[in-house]
Each structure stands twice: as structure tokens, then as C-alpha cells.
Amino acid sequence: MNLKRHLIQLMRTIKNGLGNSNGYGNCYGCYDNWQWKEYHVIQYSESSGMFPYCEECHKTLSIDRKKELADELLTKWMSGNYWGKDWVGLRIIVHNAIEAGK
């Protein structure tokens, strides 16, 4: 790896560390912090959506990879305080939205 790539990685690590210390999460695709990235929203109802990856990753990731990242976020939600959700139904809605390019 050349010096330029090392410096870019170091700056990214510092930048994301600052964002994490401010309470922001990360893109599941590239791991960049939401404080520095525009997130891509997957709507699963008229008033609710999720953002497992950023706009940049939305443009470059395969549909299968997008589904995997959405599933990672859904799994995290399932272990939290989101009681009463129809997780199977929500997963189907999210996967359909991803396949439709939304």
C-alpha cells in the first residue's frame, strides 16, 4: 500500500472517530460516519424508513449486498426495544423496495 492510501485511511479513521464520539452511527457498507455521509433511506411505510447504507454505497453495491446490509440493521433492531414488529413482513417490504431500486 502506498503512502497516499495510508494517509487517506488514517484521515478516514480520525474523521469517523470524531463522528462516533458525537453519537453518530456508520454506513454498514463503507463504514463511513453519518456525520460525513448522506444516507440512503429505504421507506418501509409512509412515515418510516431505514438507512443501512449511504448514497454512495447505494449506487455501487449489488442488490444482494444491499439486502444483506438491510438484514444486519434489522437484526440489530430486533435485539433492541422494538417490540411488536412484524419482522418477517418488514424484511419482505424492505427487500422488495431494494429490488425496485428504491
> Is the pLDDT score of 59 beyond 90?
yes
- DSSP character for 79? T
Q: Which one-letter amino acid corresponds to residue 91?
A: R
Enumerate the domain spans of the chain. 3-99
Q: Which H helix or E strand runs over 19?
A: helix 3-21
Q: Are 63 and 99 in contact (CB under 8 A)?
A: yes
> Is the pLDDT score of 65 beyond 90?
yes
Sign of CA dihedral 92, 89, 66, 49: positive
Q: Are 95 and 67 in contact (CB under 8 A)?
A: yes
Q: What is the pLDDT of residues 25-44, one digit of tens each?
A: 889 998 888 877 898 999 98
**DSSP count for the chain of H helices, then E strands:** 4, 2
- In angstroms, the CA 31 to CA 28 distance is 5
| Lookup result for grid cell 449489488 | 62
pTM value? 0.75
pLDDT of residue 34: 82
Q: Taking the chain, what is the end-to-end CA distance rounded to the nearest angstrom? A: 36
> Is the pLDDT score of 23 beyond 80?
no
pLDDT of residue 68: 96
